[in-house]
Amino acid sequence: MEPGVPHPAVTSSAERRFRVLVGVTGSVAALKLPLLVSRLSDVPGMWKRRSDPVLHIDLRRWADLMLVAPLDANTLGKVASGICDNLLTCVIRAWDRSKPLLFCPAMNTAMWEHPLTAQQVGQLKAFGYVEIPCVAKKLVCGDQGLGAMAEVETIVDKVKEVLSQHGGVQQS
């Protein structure tokens, strides 16, 4: 909760604000984080900051939606098998699955094409999480193929769509 701010449950629909928790992993696509966060901040009704202590259970309560962007191969594997050895994976492990969790895989094409990837993405989808699929392009490493994180605008549009399904996003 933000100090002095009513909980969403007691806030009128016209004033409803949404809290999106963005998880970031060690993909080169993390370079897009400033743009992604800046564009998400433009979504009407989005909270701009959080000042309370950062603990994984506080965060799972605080957020209305979780976005993991980029989700690298390492954390994908951890989440699929339940490993929770850092703050991000603990929040995901404790996630309230009645709330949406969106993930944006991003990895080299060779990693993407490994059969483990499809298994693990399938496992996350089976948990009810929403995949924002990676795209094919020339990757930062120079390889060409699938594995690049979805475009920022695609991600923001999907966040808005899912938020609107869970109570509506204020229109600008």
Ligand X SMILES: Cc1cc2nc3c(=O)[nH]c(=O)nc-3n(C[C@H](O)[C@H](O)[C@H](O)COP(=O)(O)O)c2cc1C
Q: Which is nearer to ligand X, 64 or 72 (CB)?
A: 72
CB of 2 to ligand X, least distance (A): 28
Q: Is the dihedral of CA 87, 74, 78, 60 positive or negative?
A: positive
Site for ligand X in 71-130 (CB under 6 A): 72-75, 106-107, 111
How many residues of this chain interact with ligand X, rule: CB under 6 A?
12
Q: Does 64 bind ligand X (CB under 6 A)?
A: no
Which CB sits closer to ligand X, 46 or 104? 104
- Of residues 32-61, those binding ligand X (CB under 6 A): none
Nearest to 102 by CA among 128, 78, 129: 129
Given a contact cutoff of 8 angstroms between Cβ atoms, the answer to whether 70 and 27 are in contact is yes
Alpha-carbon dihedral sign for residues 44, 49, 53, 54? positive
Question: How many whole angstroms separate alpha carbon 48 and alpha carbon 85?
Answer: 27
Residue nearest to ligand X (CB): 26
Q: What sign has the CA pseudo-torsion 145, 149, 150, 152?
A: negative
The DSSP annotation for 71-93 comes to E-HHHHHHHHHT---SHHHHHHH
For the record, the structure tokens of 138 come out as 């020339």
CB of 117 to ligand X, least distance (A): 9
- Minimal distance in Å, beta carbon 106 to ligand X? 5
Distance of closest approach, residue 120 Cβ to ligand X, in angstroms: 11
Q: Which of residues 15-34 bind ligand X (CB under 6 A)?
A: 25-29
Query: Is residue 104 among the annotated active site residues?
Result: no
* Site residues (vs ligand X, CB under 6 A): 25-29, 72-75, 106-107, 111
Supply the residues annotated as catalytic.
Answer: 141
